[in-house]
């Protein structure tokens, strides 16, 4: 089972390299956005980049965005290239195909997130260290690592569901992009629409709760959401259904 998952995993990465024309082109595509996010933003934020959880949240958000292109191509791309039937006719199990494609997108997102963190830490230390080593508090680093994985996992499950239903990669990517925009702006709009006498007591109550409990509750809710999405995508991914489609 593990060997089959790794087979699909490496197949996806090789196809991603091939679509970009060369390994050098792929590396440039990874490095340029990583440099923008990992150098420019920390340079502007200064020491606050490692002292506040905002940077961790932004990196987790970026890890969601980065995997959209790869997971959008996972099944819609196979359908466009007329290779889906060949893949489904192979000896690989349904779980191996699904998990291999999902983990390739997750790995892709996490690698770029780690590159962003590395570049950000180097930038902040070179520009603002004053002789001391600047690093995230260990609690921030742990929560950030978990959030990056959970957010990348969530995007891979949602992306797999969208890619299974989309006839083209372009449509899958557009659907995921609109979904990300809605995920970001809809809660903000809803909060602004709520009356102040509802929002203010909630914020005051939240400020009295221990940050550790809030963080654990948030990560726990995130984990449950990922588990539910995983169950849905595994129920949706059926070889016979895809062949009939």
* pLDDT (average), residues 138-155: 86
Residues 6+ apart with CB under 8 A from 168: 76, 79, 80
The tokens describing 239, both together, are 């070889």
Higher pLDDT, 240 or 47: 47
Residue 21 has pLDDT above 60, yes or no: no
User: What digits encode the pLDDT tens for the residues 172-213?
Assistant: 888 888 887 777 777 777 777 777 776 677 667 666 666 777
Whether the pLDDT of residue 155 is over 80: the answer is yes
pLDDT of 23 higher than 60: no
Alpha-carbon gap, residue 104 to 5, rounded angstroms: 10
pLDDT digits (tens, 9 = 90+) for 47-67: 888 887 777 777 777 777 777
Q: Which one, of 153, 167, 140, lies nearest residue 223 by Cα?
A: 153
Provide DSSP, 201-214: HHHHHHHHS-HHHH
| Res 232: pLDDT | 92
Q: Report the alpha-carbon distance of residue 98 to residue 1 in Å, rounded.
A: 12
| DSSP conformational letter for 134 | -
CA-based nearest residue to 12, from 56, 70, 96: 70
Q: Which residue has the higher pLDDT, 175 or 14?
A: 175
What digits encode the pLDDT tens for the residues 68-119?
877 888 888 888 888 877 877 888 888 888 899 899 889 888 888 888 888 8
CA–CA separation, 132 vs 135, rounded Å? 10
Containing H/E element for 175? helix 169-193
pLDDT category, 228, cuts 50, 70, 90? Answer: very high
What is the residue-averaged pLDDT of the chain?
80
């Amino acid at each position: 089972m593990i060997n089959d998952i790794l087979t699909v995993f490496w197949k996806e990465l090789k196809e991603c390299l091939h679509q970009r024309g060369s390994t050098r082109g792929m590396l440039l595509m990874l490095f340029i956005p990583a440099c923008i996010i990992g150098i420019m933003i920390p340079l502007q934020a200064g020491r606050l980049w490692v002292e506040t959880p905002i940077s961790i949240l932004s990196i987790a958000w970026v890890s969601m965005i980065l995997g959209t292109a790869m997971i959008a191509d996972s099944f819609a791309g196979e359908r466009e290239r007329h290779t889906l039937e060949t893949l489904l006719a192979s000896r690989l199990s349904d779980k191996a195909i699904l998990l291999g494609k999902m983990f390739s997108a997750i790995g892709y997102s996490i690698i770029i997130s780690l590159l962003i963190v590395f570049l950000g830490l180097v930038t902040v230390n070179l520009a603002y260290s004053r002789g001391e080593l600047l690093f995230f508090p260990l609690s921030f680093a742990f929560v950030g690592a978990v959030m990056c994985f959970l957010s990348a996992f969530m995007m891979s499950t949602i992306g797999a569901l969208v890619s299974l239903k989309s006839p083209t990669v372009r449509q899958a990517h557009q659907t995921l992009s609109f979904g990300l925009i809605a995920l970001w702006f809809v809660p903000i709009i809803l909060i602004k629409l709520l009356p102040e006498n509802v929002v203010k007591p909630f914020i005051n109550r939240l400020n009295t709760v221990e940050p550790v409990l809030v963080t654990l509750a948030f990560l726990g809710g995130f984990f449950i959401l990922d588990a539910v999405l995983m169950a849905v995508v595994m129920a949706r991914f059926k070889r016979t259904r895809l062949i009939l489609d």
